[in-house]
A and B are shown apart, each in its own frame.
Chain A
Amino acid sequence: MSETSSKIKNISRIQYDPKPAEYWGPTPREARKKAVAKSKALVDKSMTLKEAVQKHIKDGINIGIGGFVNTRIPAAIIQEIIRQGARDLTLSFQSNSICCEWLAGAMIVDPDRVSIKRAELAWWGYEIIGIAPLLRYLNTSGKIQLDDYTNYGMSARFKAAAMGIPFLPVRDHGGTDMELTNRGKMVECPFSGENVYLVPACHPDVGLVNVTAADIYGNARIFGAQCTCQEIALASIHTIMTTEAIIPTESIRSYPNLTEIPYPAVDAVVEQPFASYPGACYGNYWFDMDHLRYYRGICDEFRKTGKRDGLKKYFEEYIFSCETSDDFLEKIGYKNLLKLRKMDGAQPVIL
């Protein structure tokens, strides 16, 4: 297969540093070895979020963030990572909002506790609520390195990793500046002779997902849009899973077709209702636009003025002064959470 290119160079004038062909996390071979080395026993993996993060999150790792924008995001896990601290992180995800902006905010408040080195991504923002102020700040000031793909590109990268292959051919990125700036490669297909773009597998060291329901072994059901959670869990060396509810294994075994993530891919199962709050979780609760707006406003204030006071206060109030996710949710309040539960519209799930 020979490397080639589209005609993008005829139209682009963007200046960029070409990225070497390398993985920003474990290689497919390393990932395979780690999977082989794992115990495949059905053992109780339920633990506290504190224990899960202590066990798996280290400085310098690649974390794969599940969900999509504001949907079924692993918000509670991100908060615990911020509480415990993790530096020099590589973030991998397709599209996300507050998970990234929380980590970025924590980095601005105290870079010795949390720092992001780089992100491989498709999209970082809040959709209707607006652009992400801290992404804009970090990128325009050259504080983090980015590697851009499309939403399919990032999903295909996790999928390749989940399939145990080093790359996937895709029909996008070619002819755009992503072809120049990202680590994918245009090649001539050995069968059709046509150009086709290859994106490298993405194996996070630790994948973070929140699911609708799971048993204590990590067999998980996902209702609503499944985003790329199955692929991220299977791609990752370790997966920390929060679940809105733990369900009996008997239920899993009665309807095994409903299992989206199989237990060997999961290392920690944490029962945590509202684990995606302020994001949404189909069948459980809608997203809290007010809280997203509130935090985004604080970040935008920082971007405009350079003053960290608002951010510090927010992190103190909502993250550092909370021992657990339940403490955080108590500050949000029962009535608010109840309102969001009603706004879900009782979307049907099978437990």
Chain B
Amino acid sequence: MEYSAVEMISYTGSRVLEDEKIVFVGTGLPIIAAMHAQLTHAPNLYMIYEAGSLAPILEIGMPLSVGDTRAARKACYLKGLCAVFELTQRGFADYAFIGGAQIDMYGNVCSHLEGDVYEKPNIRFPGSGGAGAMAANCEKTIVIMALEKRRFVQQVDFVTSIGFGDGSPDYREKAGVMGSGPYRVITQHALFGFDEETRRMKLLEVAPGKTPAEVQDNVSFELLMDENVKEMAVPTEQDLKLLKEEIDPEGYFLKRVTR
């Protein structure tokens, strides 16, 4: 079956989400992944959109952004940012589903800048948005990122979204955050989890045709390897049809070029 990198990421994102949970989604592939999960194995999975919507029915089209008015369609509860982030602090959001520019071995994510100096970075990205709050207080954090050495780094330039910090067991507690932290990192070629003891990133699955060594070659830090690294499941024809024809028929996200 022919599938693209973004289709693989979306499908894997869907696979990772369990039924009867609430996922706080970021723009783009997280929305697609959650919609796919709802249409397949997780009909009782619901979404939070940070402008203020809980459990919408996306019947007039996929929201192109988390602030899209379509994300408010037929919601169960529709307020503002405070309301949904407070639901999250309280413990009602099971997954944070975010992206970013860089990630380190403890799952800390940068989406602010590239450079050494906060006041005058080399490159400035939009900023935290909701990501910093989602990674802090949703129960589990799922991160989507392209598997590239410049993104899987020894040290991020700026910690935007908290992971396990320096890896010390009480890092998140000292940070005053409530969620349990990084859970999965999804790329086009590999699925990662985190080791319970060391809190370091661990390779769980590789895409067909790829080896763990090839994955390690695209990561700047040393990966832990699961005892039993599996092959990633690939989307079926039915999955691709759902993604391309029902979820994102205009190809807003699925036709974007990524490596």
Which residue numbers of A lie inside 8 Å of B, CB to CB?
Answer: 6-8, 10-17, 68-71, 94-95, 121-125, 127-128, 131-132, 135-136, 139-142, 145, 148-153, 155-156, 159, 170-179, 181, 186, 194-197, 224-231, 280-282, 286-287, 289, 344-345, 347
Contacts and interface: CB of A to CB of B under 8 A. Distances in A.
B151 interface: no
Contacts of B253: 128
A175 B170 CA distance: 11
Interface residues of B, number: 71
Interface string B189-215: 000000000000000000000000000
B172 A122 contact: no
B176 A195 contact: yes
Contacts of A186: 176
B132 A226 contact: no
Given A7-B168, A149-B128, A175 B71 contact: no
A194 B69 contact: no
Interface of B: 27-28, 49-53, 60-61, 64-73, 78-83, 85, 88-89, 108, 112, 116-133, 136-137, 155, 157-162, 165-166, 168, 170-178, 252-253
B259 to A, nearest CB: 18
Contacts of B66: 69, 127
Contacts of B122: 140
Contacts of A148: 112, 127-128
15 contacts: A6-B165, A6-B175, A11-B159, A13-B116, A122-B130, A139-B124, A150-B131, A150-B133, A151-B129, A171-B136, A175-B162, A177-B112, A195-B174, A195-B175, A225-B80
Nearest to A196: B176
A20 B168 CA distance: 30
Contacts of B73: 345, 347
Contacts of A12: 158-159
Given A149-B128, A152-B85, A282 B69 contact: yes
A228 B133 contact: no
A171 B177 contact: yes
A172 B136 contact: yes
Contacts of B120: 139-142
A94 to B, nearest CB: 6
A302 to B, nearest CB: 16
B82 A156 contact: yes
Report whether over half of chain A's contact residues are helix, strand or loop; otherwise say mixed. Answer: mixed
Contact of B108 (A6, A11, A150): A11
A6 to B, nearest CB: 4
Given A139-B124, A142-B119, A8 B51 contact: no
B85 A155 contact: yes
Given A68-B67, A69-B65, A131-B126, A16 B118 contact: yes
Contact of B116 (A14, A68, A124): A14
B173 A194 contact: yes
Given A10-B165, A226-B52, A176 B124 contact: no
B52 A227 contact: yes
A198 to B, nearest CB: 10
Given A176-B160, A224-B78, 19 more contacts: A6-B174, A68-B81, A70-B68, A71-B69, A122-B127, A127-B64, A128-B28, A148-B127, A152-B130, A152-B133, A155-B85, A156-B82, A172-B136, A176-B159, A177-B112, A178-B128, A225-B69, A225-B71, A231-B82
Most buried by B among A8, A14, A156: A14
A132 B126 contact: yes
